[in-house]
A and B are shown apart, each in its own frame.
Chain A
Amino acid sequence: MIWDWSYAWEVLPVLGDAAIVTIKATVVGYLFALVGGLILALMRRSPTRALAWPAAFLVEFVRSTPLLVQLFFLFFGLPELGIRLSPFATGVVGLGLHFSTYTSEVYRSGIDGVARGQWEGAKALNFSTYRCYRAVVLPQAIPPIVPVLGNYLLTMFKDSTLLSAIAVMELLQVAKILGSDTFRYMEPLTIVGVFFIVMSVVSATGISWLERKLNPRRSA
């Protein structure tokens, strides 16, 4: 098979639209995972068992099943519970939830890394639990884990292609459709590959910039 530039140019705008869907799903899912993971991590540390146990169960359960299974589960299961979401929304929830359980472990390691004396200092000043996390613990726990959290953005970009399985019109899905219409797969799939390379370079650059900004002493 020979590379056909005119065909490549023809499909580019269509793939461009699909790329927007991929970016949206990944970024929204990532924000979901950043917030959800923090909530799960805090719940797991709570002395209240009614909070800690469900969070622990969810994390273990989600981490030990494949993302694709979870996506199918949400896609076919939610409507049966009377919850109707678009494929895109279902995909974002699935991605976000799945990666929340991973980021929750990252937050947990960050929080565990904060010295015991910091908690005691906060307690001696009579900080509430909220104030202790907000003012003392999280500002010290998060900067060191930024690179790891950032890596999940790259992973989520790649794993967002699984959303093609539940009919989200993201890049891989559109490339497949284009290919099956014309029997030319090489151009669309190559463009998809190049897109992911570009996105990973862009995110990696962003993350290392953020890392340098948050940990000024380390790079000095």
Chain B
Amino acid sequence: MTDTAPHGDTPPSDTPMVRFEKVTKAFGDLTILDRFDLSVPRGEKLAVIGPSGSGKSTLLRVLMTLEPISGGVVEVGGEPLWHMDRGGKLVPANEAHLRKMRTKIGMVFQHFNLFPHMSALRNVTEAPIHVQGLDKAEALERGEALLREVGLGDKMDSKPAQLSGGQQQRVAIARALAMRPEIMLFDEVTSALDPELVGEVLAVIRDLASEQDLTMLIVTHQMGFANEICDRVCFLEGGHLVEEGPPEQIFHEPQQQRTKDFLKAVLEV
């Protein structure tokens, strides 16, 4: 990473973009994340892998503020996400704080979650216009450019139902990018797609990964893809980070028996 001097309220470049410190997340008696620690530097492309139910989605949903935490601290850009600083004390965040923090984060979901009553273009421009207050012409320009970038220049006026799954997911990626987030979260974004449509979506994410400053957290079962574009891979199980390291290490010489078992099972399928 380049060592540019921090300016404005940009945190120094050694401040992690995302930091989990002893984060616990429980649903009733069921503990999903158990004193979970993780630090993601700015610009890192992090793959999160693990068996079903290991808490991968929960991890991303906590970051997107869709799921509150039960304990610990999550920091985004050096600032607490679920808490606010009140005279040196951390108190639970209010909606205003959450809304401020959300501006840094975008998320793409397994089932797209596009708005079915809006055209592709309107899906992409609605938030820039009404959340960021961008003027309409500028938002349209931004939206059209993004849809062209994901290869949907000719589908701007189509409703989601008129698009294939792969096209819908590309609209969803453009929609999240239109808010200019610093962190992008991808939760198994190709799992709901027919196999022949996976490639077009991965290609878009691969392009995106070339952006130096964008931090990406990618939950995926596509080990080859994670190996190709990610700087680091985390293996989660039972609410703990079992093992992490560069893809070469995790995929080729995992240290932990549980990682080996998981990869063996996945790669056999």
Q: Which residues of A contact B (CB under 8 A)?
A: 115, 117-118, 120-121, 123-128, 131, 135-136, 139-140, 217
Contacts and interface: CB of A to CB of B under 8 A. Distances in A.
B131 A126 contact: yes
B263 to A, nearest CB: 30
Q: Report whether over half of chain A's contact residues are helix, strand or loop; otherwise say mixed.
A: helix
Contacts of B77: none
B106 interface: yes
Contacts of B64: 120, 123-124
A125 B114 contact: no
Given A131-B131, A135-B130, A124 B114 contact: no
B227 interface: no
B242 interface: no
Nearest to B124: A125
Interface residues of B, number: 25
A123 B115 contact: no
Nearest to A123: B66
B66 A135 contact: no
Contacts of A118: 113, 115
B133 to A, nearest CB: 12
B31 interface: no
A12 B135 CA distance: 58
Contacts of A135: 115, 126, 130
24 contacts: A117-B111, A117-B113, A118-B113, A121-B109, A121-B113, A121-B114, A121-B115, A123-B64, A123-B65, A123-B102, A124-B64, A124-B176, A125-B131, A125-B175, A125-B179, A126-B127, A126-B131, A127-B130, A128-B99, A128-B131, A135-B115, A135-B130, A140-B116, A217-B161
A1 B103 CA distance: 78
Nearest to B101: A126
A74 to B, nearest CB: 38
A121 B161 CA distance: 17
Contacts of A140: 116-117
Contacts of B66: 120, 123-124
Contact of A124 (B99, B107, B161): B107
Contacts of B107: 124
Contacts of B130: 127, 131, 135
A132 to B, nearest CB: 10
Given A131-B131, A135-B126, A126 B113 contact: no
Nearest to B115: A136
A140 B115 CA distance: 9
B175 to A, nearest CB: 7
B131 A117 contact: no
A169 to B, nearest CB: 44
Given A125-B131, A126-B103, 8 more contacts: A121-B113, A123-B102, A124-B102, A124-B113, A124-B176, A126-B102, A126-B131, A140-B116
A57 B176 CA distance: 40
A125 B109 contact: no
Contacts of B175: 125
A135 B130 CA distance: 10
A107 B65 CA distance: 27
Contacts of B99: 126, 128
A58 to B, nearest CB: 26
B260 to A, nearest CB: 35
